[in-house]
Amino acid sequence: MSVIFSRAVSEKSVNNGRFRRLALLLPLLLSIGLFTECAALSSELERITEEEALEAEAVLNEEDDDWLLIRKKQKRLFVVRNRKVIRSYAVATGVNDGQKQKPGDGRTPEGVFKVLQIQNASYWTHDFRDGKGEIKGAYGPWFIRLKTPWRGIGIHGTHDPQSIGKNATEGCIRLRNEELKDLKEKYIKLSMVVVIRK
């Protein structure tokens, strides 16, 4: 559209002040349209489905205000209150897609879980078996352990912020360290419901 408009402007008298002002405003008008489109898409992605809400509500206690929804495909963690997203974070999930079958399969489990422990992980190390040995700060400042059928599944930070938004973990949910701190300080509590979906 802007190409057609530009041609029309060049064919008309460029000295005409109205055309000149409109030509200058056109990129701004187009960017506003794109921004509106992106905002609409973003709000659509953050909409909680009836199925997701019912899954969480089936196990919520009366005193529970917030719960977490993790969508593996979107690589997003949402904090939900009254069926509305109040906060959203980018995450990394298991290196392999699909439902977790066994320990060590590199998949993030799907289902409804609860926060079991909140552990200081700032001094923890981990060997990713990539030839680099033990990595300090591999889990970031906190490890939010989930009660799942598999040991060692949780929400934690990272030594590798470039991995966020990718399939990169051994099965956990990984956040940037500053966002993990925000999540932990503002929302996380023991027994909090965590719904993990495809």
Per residue in 132-166, pLDDT tens?
889 999 999 999 999 999 999 999 999 999 999 99
CB count within 10 Å of CB 4 equals 8
pTM to 2 decimal places: 0.77
Do 142 and 156 contact (CB within 8 A), yes or no? yes
97-123 per-position pLDDT tens digit: 999 999 999 999 999 999 999 999 999
> Which bin fits 68, alpha (ψ -120 to 50), beta or left (φ > 0)?
beta
